[in-house]
Structure formats: C-alpha cells, structure tokens
Structure 1
Amino acid sequence: MKYWLLKSEPDAYSYSDLESAPNQRTLWDGVRNYQAAKLLKNEMQVGDLAFFYHSSCKVPAVVALCRITRTGITDPTSLDPQSRYYDPKSSAEQPRWITVEVAADAPLPRAVSLKELKQQPELQDMVLLNNGRLSVQPVSPQQWQFILQLAHNSSH
C-alpha cells in the first residue's frame, strides 16, 4: 500500500463535498500537472490511502483521510469541450489524462495545519513542504504515521 496527499481548494471541492457526494466518492479529475498526472496514472492502486488537504485557504491543512477505490479511469473533463480542463488531443480511445476514484474515509480528529507541518523536523523531506504546488503527492509511511499522530494529539 502507498500513501498520498491530495490537495483541493475547499471553495472548489472540500472534504465535506466528498462526504456529501453519491456513495461518498468522486473522481479526482482536472489534474493537468504532468508529474501529478503520472502518479495518478502509474502509481496509485486500489486500497491506497490519502490525506485530503485543503489548500489556498485561510488555514491550509490536512483535514481528512480518503482511499483510492478505482484506478485507470479516463478523466472525463479532458473529453468535455465545456470544461476548463478539456484537451482536444485526448479521446476516449486514446486518453491523455487518467484519474482515480476517491472515497471519503474519515475526517481527522483535528486538522493539521501547514504551519504545524513545517515546524516538524520529521517532515522536512515531505513533498508538500518542498514542492507544494503538486495536487497529488506521495507521502512516506513514516510521514503518514507521524501526521496521524499529530492529528490525534490534542495538545496543539
């Protein structure tokens, strides 16, 4: 199993939106950064776990857990001329953009802010803290466990 961090701006799509979605699932569509798209296409597997991270908001933070429930899905936004993520070079037969389905798992006992993450020496190598613009990022097992511990620690 691998671990991930999925970033979304809460005013565009929040964790509560995922909880309210049919079957508490959604496609993680519209990713157009090639590095992030490559992770969606080649690295994510059914059963992998991910942190749901709220970005570009007053308090950016890891807020919840979700899991990958399907992989290898053609990103429907790439085929929709009305979408801002439309790609005329993509087709159903030859998709250029692949995505995954994500299911809500559980909100964290408390959100762990970006500020708090940056204060942790154990997380200094975390992709989020070194290449924060990626909307899909790997998280090491050690980082995963450490962040879970922070989320369960109410002394912050």
Structure 2
Amino acid sequence: MKKAQYWLVKSEPFKYSWEKFNEDGRTFWDGVRNYQARNNLKGMKEGDLVMFYHSNEGKEIVGIAKVVKEFYQDPTTDDANWVVVDLSPVEALKKPVTLEQIKADERLKDIGLIRQGRLSVMSLKPEEFDRIVELGS
C-alpha cells in the first residue's frame, strides 16, 4: 500500500476561499502557471491530504482537503503544459494556523511555506503536516 503524501495549496480568499470550497464540495485546482507547482500537482495521488492556505489576506492555514482525482489537462487553457487535480474539503482546523505561528515554530523552520514563499503548491513532510494539525486543534 502506498504511503500518503501531504501537500499545501494557496488561494487568495477573495478569489477562492475555504468557505466557498466547502459550499462547492469539490473543485479542480486550476490556474497554476509555475513549473515546480505544476510538477507538485502531478505528484499528488488520490487520497493524499492537502492543507488549504489563505494567502495575501489572512495568511493562515484554515483547513484540510484531500485529492479525489489525480492530474489531468487544465480545462481553463489549451496549453497542454498545465494540469489540475480535483480536491474535496475534509475538515476545517479548529483554529487557523497563521504564517507568524509557523515562522515562530522551531519544528516548522524548514517548511516550504517559509523557504519558497511564492510557490502556490508544495509538498509537506508528514511531521510538518502533523505539527500544523496539532497547532490548529
């Protein structure tokens, strides 16, 4: 059996919020136009867990989603270089985990969110995922 992987995706709340995601119940994650982020989308497998981060406004992780369909051509472009995955919400964190909390946490000092702040889709180590869940409960 394959081991679950963990990821983080970013969305500006005014463009696509956690609340809207929950109303929709499922979405394809489109608009990724960075090769590293695209490669991360391609690495996502059905059942992987994904942290949902509100960028710009809020700057906090607000919930957990899961991959429900692996990558396919991004329907918003004809360029075959770009892909999407389908995500569904799993649960909101009891308390959002802010970027400040993450930066201040010794156990999260190497997290991609700090090292590559502009990347919109990134992998998380299992211990980083677990620590964020702990901070958010």
TM over 0.5: yes
Residues 1:46 and 2:46 are matched in the alignment: yes
Residue of structure 1 equivalent to 2:59: 60
| Residue 85 (structure 1) aligns with | none
2:94 alignment partner AA: P
Structure 2: give runs of 5+ residues left out of the alignment: none
Counterpart for residue 142 of structure 1: 127
User: How far apart, in 2, do the equivalents of 1:15 and 1:48 lie?
Assistant: 18
What is the match of residue 12 of structure 1? 15
Q: Report the 3-state secondary structure (helix = DSSP H, G, I; strand = E; otherwise coil) of the residue aligned with 1:76.
A: coil
CA distance in 1, matches of 2:81, 2:100: 36
Structure 1 distance, partners of 2:53, 2:36, is 18
CA deviation after TM superposition for structure 1 residue 66, in Å: 0.2
Q: CA shift at 1:36, angstroms? A: 0.2
Secondary structure at the counterpart of residue 41 of structure 2? helix
- Moved runs in structure 1, 4+ residues, more than 2 A? none
- CA distance in structure 2 between the aligned counterparts of 1:7 and 1:35, rounded to whole angstroms: 14
Query: Which one has a bigger Cα radius of gyration?
Result: 1
The offset of 1:39, in angstroms, is 1.0
Q: How much does 1:78 deviate?
A: 1.2
Deviation per CA, 1:117-153, whole angstroms, max 9, x where unpaired? 100011010000111111101010000111111111x
AA at the equivalent of 1:32: R
How far apart are 1:96 and its partner, in Å?
1.6
The 2-side partners of 1:151 and 1:96 are apart by 35
The answer to whether 1:29 aligns with 2:14 is no
| Amino acid of the structure 1 residue aligned with 2:92 | P
Query: Aligned pair 1:2/2:5, yes or no?
Result: yes
1:86: which partner in 2? none
Structure 1: gaps spanning 5 or more residues: 80-89
Residues 88-107 of structure 1 aligned to structure 2 (within 5 Å): 90=79, 95-107=80-92
Partner deviation per Cα, 1:35-63 (whole Å, 9 max, x = no partner): 0001112x100000010000011x31000
TM-score normalized with structure 2 length? 0.95
Deviation at 1:72, TM superposition (A): 2.3
TM-score, normalised to structure 1's length?
A: 0.84
Indicate whether 1:109 and 2:108 are aligned.
no
